[in-house]
Structure 1
Amino acid sequence: MSETVAGARRAVLVPLALAQFLCSFAGSTMNVMINDISVDLKTTVQGVQLAITLFLLVMAALMIPGGKLTDLFGRKKCFTAGLLLYGLGAVLAAFAPGLVVLVLGYSIMQGVGTALLIPPVYILTTLLFQDLLSRARAFGAIMAMGGIGAAAGPLIGGLITAAISWRAAFAFQALLVVVIVLLGRRITDPLPADRGRSFDGVGAALSAIGLVLLVTGILAADNDVWLMLGLLAAGFLVLAGFFGWVRARERGGGQPLVSLAVFRRRVANLGLVTQNLQWLVLMGTSFVVATYLQVVRGYNAIQTGVIFSAATAGLLVSSFSAERLAKRHAQRSLVMTGFALTAAGIGLLLGLSGISKNPWVSAPGLLLTGLGIGLMLTPSVNVVQSAFGEDQQGEISGVSRSVSNLGSSLGTAIAGTILVSGLTTHAYAAAMATLAVAALGGLAVAAFLPRGKATREAG
């Protein structure tokens, strides 16, 4: 590859990686602002948890439709439109007088903007970096920035909140949007938009409603068990209706929101499950530890953020080693090792928190968790994306990001609901134990991945 081509690819990769950082940052930085926001907006910890979970849920519910829209309107246009909507939502959240406006700007507008801009990030990367090692390097940079955004969000958000205000953290996001838009001017779409494609509105509505009902049911667990069961049952019924609709539309010769063929590839499905569990554990741990340190232990935003620098350091070390590790180890080995380290990190968090009230006892566990998550983010994405050809990248990118963001929202909803139901040391232990079980589940699933290098399945 010539230096000119390599330089052009790096120039494109920078705004794509920054976009992933921005969206991951938005999901975790709120965790250290819980006390400040709840006092300023006269709401509760549960209210802020709702806003965070809704943001992650909107991303998950709309990511598949967002991936399909990239084929219809083009990847560059969707990327730019998503950034602009995200930026407007950040400005609205920065001036929010109450929880409702915060939810509108942060949870809805920024969530929808993310669903528009993230699928193009992964599609463009897959199309521009076609061999395994260069793609591993590119995805390594993107996933590293995503992981760093999630892990460093508490630190950066804590610094901004302590120095200025929680509102300034949203202003920071709006400024970053401007930078990404300017850097993204050099991005060119390698494939033309296909305006002849139809958009499956019914499928989009059914998938979104089903996911919303499921996560809302989990959030209702600490208020009304029967409401929880009713919402969960309704969610599963709607999702069953979605798959029935897709099957009928395919048989009728139409274009469904997502082809059922996407879910018929065993290795890709295993990769999707590992992605879901990685983000469930990462975002669940971030919310639970940050909330516990602030609400139960009484630490402020900057103190909580500094403690999370251990997780950021772990992610930095392992994520930026993605290319070198991909050359030496099978992706199955990397994912399994990542889950094992993550489970061990959560075990340390639980064990050490019981012997000392010093907040720094959380650092070793967070460091190990960060190392584990960073180690497996890239190989899991490679497993999924590499299983499909160029013509299906829009579809699988939407599915992949939807599954990952669903994991994020489930982590915040499940572990967060366990914690806020009591806001005690016992509730913290129960929430973290739940996340440890999820990490061990991911380890078990990863054991079924192929032992060799990633290959494209026939299908």
Structure 2
Amino acid sequence: MDRWKALIVLGTAQFLMVLDASVMNVSISQLVEDFDTEVTAIQAVITLYTLVMAAFMLTGGKIGDMFGRRRTFIAGLMVYAVGSGLTAVAPTVWVLALGWSVIEGLGAALVLPALAALVAGAYRDRERAIAYGVIGGLAGAGIAVGPLLGGWVTTYLTWRLVFAGEVVLVVAILCLHRWIPIGGPRRQRVQLDVLGAVLSAAGLAVIVLAVLQSGTWGWVEPRNPPFTVLGFAPTLFAVALGGVLLWLFVLQERRREADGRTPLVRLRLFGIAELRSGLATLFNQNTILLGLFFVIPLYLQVVQGLDAFETGVKLLPVSVTMLAASMSGTLLLRVASPRTIVRVGLAVLFGSAIWLLTTIKPELAGVSFALAMATMGLGMGLLASQLGNVVQSSVAEEDRGEAGGLQFTAQNLGSSLGTALIGAILIGALASAFTNNIADDPRVSDAVRQQAGIQIEAGISFVPSDQVAAALAQSPVPPEEAAAVVEHYEDAQIDGLKAAVLAAGGLTLAGFLFTGHLPAGVPARRARPSGPSGTRLNTPGT
């Protein structure tokens, strides 16, 4: 039992990192009301949280190597607790973004790479595979508990209590920190690559910001951007700028290695095929998961009119099956390879997206919706059960801090892009469908069509149809014409949601392209590798 004490502490921290993101997703409507803002503002806050983590994960992993992984883990938890406390008392959406998105995000960027490396350092062989299965399962548990706990607290008390409770949970973890092994030797006399950290963070931030704002700015034709570039929307130019910054980051890392200085990340790691495949699949998985976990609660709350707790109950099937599949991943390794398990997970996930498309209707879909969500959780859980262990087991001990940084960079970059991209597709499809619907309806006058076009150009919002009806009731629009506009808006909401889920299904199919170099043999049937620790490994559990 003593050897699993570390896993209790590390697993609890992993649970904590996942919990509040799922709480936020089911509390979107309440947050919009509490802060008197719009869905897009809360979408930006959620995106910023994962973006801050993605942008600083590499730096967090390097700090763990420099100052010790357990020490960095503890410091990160302290920063995280400060952010949680500030979030609990946030009076405005800007303070919410500072406390949750920025301070908690920076704390998580210190905690998660250290956590991944500490798990890998504390366990070996099959025990490591079990440990990563448990970590993945506890991530699933956070997704399971978050919607229910957050939904209940948000509906009957206040969402702020969740973040106050996180402070208490961090204190409990800190009291047990000595259960965690120190986690590998500390690297002395290493300077942090500050320029590399700035370039990588800026490059990722600019790309995600451009995708997030694409629904408002437009991709090519400008909609309502703050400025234009040669008459075009700035979105693609911003994406290109982010790409240039990341290219400069690569040049900076190569220069530091050539000069004999320690880079933020050793580019040679990307020469490990298993690592590349694992990171790409993690990125893809989180793009899909967080994109769907943004738009589905919107569907349940804005279209179906459910409160936060009812939304949590509707999300329970995906959470339970994800937890079960994550925890059973090590058992599946007895009969199948990680590559096979991941591919089956992607196939199940794609099937669930197609199934979900058939359930998205103005009226509640009932059992069919619940089964589609349960199937989605099964696919996600199969992916979560394998990928963390694949990434960490593909590198040597001295590279695990950097691998942890890369692992959570991929995850959180996928999360931020998923929320931004799938959300942008939702808004874009809503605007397009609404425009087409009213254009073809003789009941809608040209004046109303023109006014609707102006509103769409200024940036359409995903709001309840009752709110649209109330706004029209206060305008000179005749009641019959207003009813037709509301009807078309409701239809456009469904079309937008279906477009978002369809995009997630397309990303799932694309995920198969990244699985070619995942471990292909069944661990229980293969001999253990005899090469040095720095060589490529053939088993995910060693």
TM-score, structure 2 as length reference = 0.81
Shift of 1:192: 3.4
Distance in structure 1 (CA, Å) of the matches to 2:502 and 2:179: 46
Q: CA deviation at 1:15?
A: 1.2
Query: Do structure 1's residue 273 and structure 2's residue 286 form an aligned pair?
Result: no
**Counterparts of 2:238 and 2:183, CA distance in 1:** 43
**Residue 129 (structure 1) aligned with residue 198 (structure 2):** no
Matched, 1:287 2:294: yes
In structure 1, how many angstroms separate the alpha carbons of the residues matched to 2:210 and 2:425? 13
Residue 26 of structure 2, aligned match among 15, 25, 32: 32
- In the TM superposition, what is the alpha-carbon distance from 1:166 to its structure 2 partner? 1.5
Q: Which residue of 13, 17, 22 corresponds with 2:11?
A: 17
Q: Does 1:222 pair with 2:291?
A: no
- Give the aligned residue type for 2:78: L
In 2, are the aligned partners of 1:13 and 1:138 still within 8 Å (CA)?
yes
2:424 is aligned with 1:430: no
Q: Which amino acid aligns with 1:396?
A: A
CA distance in 1, matches of 2:74, 2:88: 21
1:445 aligns with one of 507, 514, 523: 514
Partner of 1:372: 379
Q: Which residue of 1 aligns with 2:318?
A: 311
Cα offsets for 1:226-269 (capped at 9, x unmatched): 12112111100100110011111111211110011011111210
Aligned to 1:188: 181
Aligned to 1:398: 405
1:95-110 equivalences in 2 (<5 Å): 95-110=89-104
Structure 1 residue 26: deviation in Å?
Answer: 1.9
Structure 1 pair 457–373 and aligned structure 2 pair: CA distance change class (3 A): farther
Q: CA deviation at 1:52?
A: 0.4
User: What is the aligned partner in structure 1 of residue 44 from structure 2?
Assistant: 50
AA aligned to 1:432 is V
Q: C-alpha separation between the residues in 1 aligned to 2:331 and 2:519?
A: 20
Counterpart in the other structure of 2:162: 169
CA distance in structure 2 between the partners assigned to 1:147 and 1:284 by the alignment? 16
Indicate the residue corresponding to 2:455 in structure 1: none
Equivalent position to 2:245, from 208, 225, 238:
238
Structure 1 residue 149 displacement after superposition: 1.5
Cα offsets for 1:156-196 (capped at 9, x unmatched): 21011112111112112222212222232322304232231
Cα distance per residue 1:289-342 (max 9 Å; x no partner): 011111122111011000110011111221111221122211111100111111
Cα separation, 1, equivalents of 2:288 and 2:402: 25
CA contact (8 A) 1:46 1:420 kept: no
Provide the residue aligned with 2:308 in structure 1: 301
Superposed displacement of residue 447, structure 1: 4.3
Which whole-Å CA distance do the structure 1 matches of 2:367 and 2:184 have between them? Answer: 50
**2:176 counterpart SS class:** helix
Deviation at 1:401, TM superposition (A): 0.9
Equivalent residue, structure 2, for 1:62: 56
- Cα offset for 1:457? 7.4
Letter in 2 for 1:21: F
**Deviation at residue 60 of structure 1 after TM alignment:** 0.5
Range that drifts further, 369-378 or 100-109: 369-378
Distance (Å, rounded) in 2 between the aligned partners of 1:458 and 1:290: 44
Following superposition, the deviation at residue 453 of structure 1 comes to: 4.5
In structure 1, what residue type is equivalent to 2:103?
M
Partner of 1:264: 271
Amino acid paired to 1:130: R
Contact 1:42 1:98 in 2 (8 A): no
Structure 1 residues 154, 227: closer, same or farther in 2, change over 3 A? farther
Counterpart-to-counterpart distance in 2, 1:147 and 1:57: 21
Q: Matched residues in 2 for 1:122 and 1:425: separation?
A: 40
8 Å contact from structure 1 (residues 20, 146) kept in 2: yes
Deviations 1:410-434 (A, max 9, x none): 1111112222443311110111111
Q: Secondary structure at the match of 2:234?
A: helix
Please name the residue that 1:203 is paired with: 196
Contact 1:265/1:457 (8 A) holds in 2: no
Give the Å deviation of 1:458.
3.1
Q: What's the counterpart of residue 206 of structure 2?
A: 213
Deviations 1:9-34, CA, capped at 9 Å, x for gaps? 21110111111111111222101111
Amino-acid identity (%): 37
Instruction: State the alpha-carbon separation in 2 of the partners of residues 368 and 73 from structure 1.
Output: 43
Structure 1 match to 2:111: 117
Instruction: Give the 3-state SS of the residue equivalent to 1:93 in structure 2.
Output: helix
Provide the TM-score with structure 1 as the length reference: 0.95
User: Residue 3 of structure 1 aligns with which residue?
Assistant: none
**Aligned residues of 2:72 and 2:110 also touching (Cα < 8 A):** yes
CA distance in 1, matches of 2:421, 2:200: 20
Gaps of 5+ in 1: 1-6
Residues 75 and 49 (structure 1), Cα distance of their counterparts in 2 relative to 1, 3 Å cut:
same
